[in-house]
Structure 1
């Protein structure tokens, strides 16, 4: 980066760029890699990273590589806490009633952001974690969230260069448009090995009092159980109704007609 270009950036933007290097990059990185990812001089990175380590946002290992610090993790846990705390008992109920991995997600940009998850003991291939993100079009919760969005937003999303996590991921815009219409009509979405080979999923909307569907809950199970997923719809919808009061307090809960 040219010195004059770096001079025009705020300290905050540089710090955020350093932290952002861990979002999609390796969990452990040397200083040179952080400087390169953030687009800042090595000397600047050395000073800012040192301050982040002192505060606890980053930790320096004996190999001189940096990882996300516990203090930053503690702060991050506050994100979505109100919804997570309210929904957790019901997610646990869903797990006890199905013995399958359960999760709750909301839309964050063009991705499904996983707010909470209860893991089954089954060895189902995992594609994400609490706080993780996956493309909306490749996951059952994501398809639900996208299906209940405004048509203009769906159109804008489908115009993107859609990711293909597996060879079975649906990326044809016309096919996806029809699929989203079907999801909204039937009230649930399913995927089979679209985000991870060996797994399938089913999800339903969690409606707010306004009628919007700002959240979705779902189950993930072995791909061999794909033809059995629909039997869980009654319990999924029942749990979704119980979580509904919590999502009604989300700022994303805009007014749209409720459809199930």
Structure 2
């Protein structure tokens, strides 16, 4: 296989991941490639169990095999393995959904999710890309980052995800300062309408953020009266994960 073929295959996987389930025409348009070329790559990836096509709608999506390969590799796997026990303790204490997110450039990737037993709950698919300014995990990650990283991030466009996403730079900077003071972030419906989350950064031995953990649930249950209790629980879980990561020698 030529280098260009490998590049095309990776771009197809990334495009499917971004928009799944997605049709051939939309993929070809996104990649600025012919439908024949994209279909050829999709068929090869399907043979290798990386993508699959729905029978009725003929839409393409990644397979569980593709996700399994991702979570077995690198930082997502190592931090997830270390964090899962602490996440379980946090989930039992709060009875709400717990998320673990790790950095990928200027976004976070959802690496693990423990669901609440409640019928009404927060939900994000594993592997979701999470904007830093729109999420509890992201704002906590920003608060734990160097000022130079924050300045660089704020220089980019802060797109709205919901009507309550923090897109004003001064407001976001004020929230970052508040997070640094209290130890956890509060995100009221900035990522998903009707969902409130509290997050804390997982710090490495040098103080750099390795990722973030959060508690998320309907705003009708996660009310201001519970912010301190849940925020302190999230902060404690993040510290415990960081200590365990340091003991395991995790480097992300």
TM-score by length of structure 1 reads: 0.84
Q: Which stretches in structure 2 are left out of the alignment for 5+ residues?
A: none
Q: Partner residue of 1:136?
A: 132
Q: Deviations for 1:51-87, whole angstroms, at most 9, x for unmatched residues?
A: 2122222224444543323432321231411211221
Within 5 Å, give how 1:57-136 maps onto structure 2: 57-63=50-56, 64-79=58-73, 80-124=76-120, 126=122, 128-136=124-132
Is residue 251 from structure 1 mapped to residue 251 from structure 2 by the alignment?
yes
Deviation at 1:99, TM superposition (A): 0.8
SS of the aligned residue for 1:214 comes to: strand
Is residue 44 from structure 1 mapped to residue 72 from structure 2 by the alignment?
no
Q: Deviations for 1:104-128, whole angstroms, at most 9, x for unmatched residues?
A: 2222222222221111123445352
Judged with a 3 Å threshold, the aligned counterparts in structure 2 of structure 1 residues 164 and 33 are, in CA distance, closer, same or farther, namely: closer
Deviation at 1:139, TM superposition (A): 1.0
Aligned counterpart for 2:171 among listed residues 170, 175, 197: 175
C-alpha distance in 2, partners of 1:92/1:67?
Answer: 29
Equivalent pairs counted in the alignment come to 244
Aligned counterpart for 1:17 among listed residues 11, 18, 29: 11
SS of the aligned residue for 2:223 comes to: helix
* 2:213 and 2:238 in contact (8 A); partners too: yes
C-alpha distance in 1, partners of 2:105/2:162?
Answer: 22
C-alpha distance in 2, partners of 1:67/1:238?
Answer: 37
* 2:78 and 2:250 in contact (8 A); partners too: no
C-alpha distance in 1, partners of 2:92/2:84?
Answer: 12
Q: Which stretches in structure 1 are left out of the alignment for 5+ residues?
A: 1-8, 253-260
Higher alpha-carbon Rg: 1
